Chains A and B, each alone.
Chain A
Amino acid sequence: MDRIKNYLYFDHAASSVIFPDVNEFIYEFNNKFTANPSSIHQLGVKTSLEIEKAREKIANEFNIKPECVYFTSGGTESNNWAIFSILYKFRNSNRKQVITSEIEHPSVINPLAFYAEMFGFELIKVKTLADGRVDLEHLSKIADENVLFCSMMQVNNETGSMLQITEIGKICKSSEIIFHVDACQGFLKSKMDIIKDNISLITINSHKIHGPKGIGALVSINQELITPMILGGGHELGFRSGTLNSSGIVGFAHAIEIFKNKQNTFKQINLKQEMINQLKSFFSGFHLNGSLENSSDYILNFSISGIHSKDLFKYLNANNVYVSTSSACSSKLFKPSYVLAAMGIEEKRNFEAVRFSFSPDHTIEDLDKVIRIMKGYVKS
């Protein structure tokens, strides 16, 4: 897919390239189902039927009822909604603390800080381990009957580190803390069990799994936990108003199907390990940021001593190789990554950090090409 175009795209954690099949599917859908899915005429009902099928498909990924899936405009909205719901609903609770990690995406950190202040909660951040996961010992110490809510990401968007969701869920359960997981980078890519892991709310989105942009969902195991944030015509059972993004929703569900089919081949190639091996053998100053064992196959973050990420980024960009130097949302501002800083990585190495993020469509040939180009950096 990426090879047909004249560039190499390794920035799928920022936004993945939509699968051509999904694009086609959406095009066909838009031609066929032009109605508002809230309209009660036959075409509206047919459109609504397609949406309900998509909802069921997504619910099946978590083994939950379709009614637990609420469509949103994406990960940021779902995160904001989960946080607003709980902090607003329980603003008069005796529990006055909320917990998150130091390495969350801004769409969790910022609304948590905002609503915590608005509704009178204290926000506590759990310390980070050198491998990019959270310090469970610290979490165990602070998670008690004073804590209402805990929000943690499944996979970090910058380093790919997989947080210990099962262990965090157990800790939350022991103190009856409501647990939200931002699964934007982990959905379909890493395992998670909403029931066994004691998760109440999950954020997912489409454009990280090669679906269309502008569509995501908030999964809530219990309807009682959510509070409407966008008011209007009462769509999504009155919980999230606004005309449903029909083509986005069906495209999202279709992308799930395709992604799952492609995943096995991708795992067999082990592109991340292969890239590390090749970079290590050529660049003596190669440092992996995070650990290989506890991280996603889809994200690789590394630094090369003596090569500033800004320079490598420019060089790769000029050679039509697209990567990130830090999380996409903040890439216009050149400042050290707060995620890497929380892991204890010193500023020099932090400024040398580059993120490659993969697609199940990537091949060894893509990797060979990019390695060849990177070797050229030293010669240039």
Chain B
Amino acid sequence: MKYDGELDLRGIPCPRNTAKALMYLEIQDIDSVSLIIIDDGEPVLNFEESLELESSYEIKNKERNEDAWNLYILKKD
């Protein structure tokens, strides 16, 4: 999947990883897609839950990346 920018959060504990992802997404353009790489387990679950509460973002795709996940996130209007 094509994306406009990426942020690697592997090794960053919760909830700092989510906070950093939200900071990153905040400054992205509307309609852009960001690749967020985040550790498997609690980190990806917590991140997804947090994102569900944010109406401006949508996870377009999710794929395994070794011990982590690649999440493609669309920034909506």
Contacts and interface: CB of A to CB of B under 8 A. Distances in A.
B15 A37 contact: yes
Contacts of A39: 15
A45 interface: yes
Given A42-B53, A45-B50, A234 B13 contact: yes
Nearest to A44: B15
B15 A53 contact: no
B19 interface: yes
A40 B15 contact: yes
Interface string A47-69: 01101110010000000000000
B30 interface: no
A45 B18 contact: yes
B68 interface: no
Contacts of A37: 15
A48 B50 CA distance: 12
Interface in B45-77: 46, 50, 53
Which of A37, A42, A51, A234 counts the most B-chain CB atoms under 10 A from its CB?
A: A42
B20 interface: yes
Contact of B22 (A44, A49, A56): A49
Contacts of A330: none
Given A40-B46, A42-B50, A42-B53, A49 B13 contact: no
Given A45-B50, A49-B22, A53-B23, A40 B16 contact: no
Nearest to B50: A45
B13 A45 contact: no
Contacts of A49: 18-19, 22-23
Contacts of B14: 40
Interface string A15-48: 0000000000000000000000111101011001
Q: Which of A45, A49, A234 has the most CB of B within 10 A?
A: A45
B15 A45 contact: yes
Nearest to A53: B23
Contacts of A45: 15, 18-19, 22, 46, 50
Contact of A48 (B18, B42, B53): B18
Contacts of A4: none
A237 interface: yes
Which of A40, A44, A237 has the most chain B CB within a 10 Å cutoff? A40
Interface string A154-176: 00000000000000000000000
Contact of B19 (A51, A234, A237): A51
Nearest to A50: B19
A53 B26 CA distance: 11
A49 B27 CA distance: 13
B19 A48 contact: yes
B57 to A, nearest CB: 13
A49 B21 CA distance: 9
Contact of A237 (B13, B18, B23, B50): B13
A168 B38 CA distance: 41
Contacts of A53: 23
Contacts of A44: 15
A48 B16 contact: yes
Interface in B1-42: 12-16, 18-20, 22-23, 42
A51 B15 CA distance: 11
Given A38-B15, A39-B15, A44-B15, A56 B50 contact: no
Given A40-B14, A237-B13, A52 B20 contact: yes
B72 to A, nearest CB: 21
A235 B22 CA distance: 19
Contacts of B46: 40, 45
A56 B23 contact: yes
Contacts of B20: 52
A39 B19 CA distance: 11
29 contacts: A38-B15, A39-B15, A40-B14, A40-B15, A40-B18, A40-B42, A40-B46, A42-B50, A42-B53, A44-B15, A45-B15, A45-B18, A45-B19, A45-B22, A45-B46, A45-B50, A48-B15, A48-B16, A48-B18, A49-B18, A49-B23, A51-B19, A52-B16, A52-B19, A52-B20, A52-B23, A237-B12, A237-B13, A237-B16
